[in-house]
Amino acid sequence: MTGNVLAAYTAPTHVLVVCFVWAISVGAAAEDASVLAEPPTAEDGQCDSQGVCSEGAVLPLWTSINKIRQNLTTFLECGHKEEPATIVEYCMKTTPKNGPDCNFDDASEGFLERRKACLYRCIFGSADLNIFAINQAGVAITSPLTASGYRRTPFLDERSLKHGIGACRYSVQTTQLKDLAEWGAGKSHYQVGEGVNFLFHLGHTGSTLLSRALGELEGTRVLREPPLLTWLSDSLPNMDKKEQTAIWNSVVLPWLSRRYYAIERIVVKAKSTALRFLRPAIKHNDASKAVFMYSTLRTHLTVSMARQHERFSDEHYGSLDVKMKGAFNAFKEFSVDSQAFQSLSIPKRMALAWMKRMLFVQSMPRSQVLMLDMDAFLANPYQHLMEVGQFLDLNITKKAAETIASDRYIFKVYAKDQDVPWDEAVQRRLFQGRLTAYRTEIDEGIEFAGMLMAKHKALQKLRSLMGSTE
């Protein structure tokens, strides 16, 4: 089963085509590089250069770009290349001066095993390389991104390039990443999945704002919508639960777990289309936790009707696995390929998708998933920052939460475009305008949801979340 999923990595009919921008500002890279330290020597590890380890041993560290005190574009010699280089070229440039041998041109006996050891250390040994796009052939395109770059960039797709070393790009097959991740299991300086928590959401619920606030906490690094996770969500919609778990454990979680130091806390803010990965995310171990941001049905319809091109797609609705008992199963009657579903209007499809996602999340253990209403968060950001920070076991204090909640840079600009002013008054004005413009469609969706709730007991638990009429 797993093999079928992995084969789809390179199947053109299932691959998300990601377009990326080639015009990059090199000035940001030079500015970032100017504050970095001298290149380190590799620390002694307990594995040799062929990856042979004693019990409980780990591979030696790699040179991090955070510790290079010179212009990184110059150091990597990549400023004049029009096409991405191979990831091996990046690893050759950053090979530690001392430590186990990593001669990528070596063709002697044992070459392949030594090469895997070196590539694993280079790619998975830190978070220096960010996948910002994946092309039609299933090839990941990466670019170096420093720790400060992760903090500044709004998202990890092509928008991250101006916050990192965007002139330098390197390619690697997604299947090769999987092979390396599996080869390195148990050989890293950190435990895969440890200290990694998640932020899932319905879409347009303040999740980006929350992620920016959490990124201000000491020792916390936020990954906003990693393209690898988005690509898998969009290009492989028909994975069953076992296949999702296999993909998650073999490559997704190892990639998301990369860090700069062992106790670094990581919060992964997923794209709304990646919601079905909530299940494997929290099932990895009992300590894995997630926050789910949502809005009432009325608020969701009001916001979504103005952004219909961004609504949760019919394909994603169909791929979400939600069980319902009883004679009437709304999601079976309105399965995505049924005539009943095809005859539904857009507002009714939106309402149906909202109900299915809410039930999906409510089926998860409360000890591992915290549900957070957008309106509640915006009304009292301090209280809910404390709640989220404590739930995710982040380094949060009352003083830190108060400082972040009162930070005009975070709460007074649009989270997705920091050049756009934003506050609660702007939010209310936009909301009221959309409520008036789409009142007929909103009422249609609400009435349809109410009809389904009246027919099925399992849906009635959502009635209190439909939202007030005004």
Encode 300-345 in three state secondary structure. Answer: HHHHHHCCHHHCCCHHHHHHCCCCCCCCCCHHHHCCCCCHHHHCCC
At 347-406, the pLDDT tens digits run 999 999 999 999 999 999 999 999 999 999 999 999 999 999 999 999 999 999 999 999
**pTM of the predicted protein model:** 0.86
Residues 138 and 6: their CA atoms lie apart, in Å, by: 10
Residue closest to 355 by CA, chosen among 469, 238, 448? 448
Query: Cα torsion for 66, 67, 72, 75, to the nearest 10°?
Result: -150
With b for 16 or more beta-carbon neighbours within 10 A and e for fewer, the 337-370 pattern comes to: eeeebeebeebbbbbbbbbbbbbbbbebeeebbb
Q: Indicate if the pLDDT at residue 410 is higher than 60.
A: yes
Q: What does the block give as tokens for 426?
A: 């702007």
At 236-264, the pLDDT tens digits run 878 888 999 999 999 999 999 998 888 89
Find the angle CA(354)-CA(357)-CA(358) to the nearest 5 degrees: 85
Measure CA 238 to chain center: 20
Residue 53 has what DSSP assignment? Answer: B
118 forms bridges with which residues in the sheet?
A: none
pLDDT at 14: 35
pLDDT at 420: 64
Strand order in the sheet with 85-86: 85-86, 170-173, 139-144, 129-134
Q: Indicate if the pLDDT at residue 408 is higher than 80.
A: no
Q: Please, which pLDDT band fits residue 300 given cuts at 50, 70 and 90?
A: very high
Residues 147 and 131: their CA atoms lie apart, in Å, by: 15
pLDDT at 260: 85
At 19-75, the pLDDT tens digits run 322 222 323 333 333 333 333 333 333 444 444 444 444 566 788 888 888 888 999
Q: Indicate if the pLDDT at residue 80 is higher than 80.
A: no
Name the strand (E) or helix (H) holding 211. Answer: helix 207-214
Strand order in the sheet with 290-294: 220-224, 265-269, 196-201, 290-294, 369-373
Query: Cα torsion for 113, 116, 121, 122, to the nearest 10°?
Result: 140
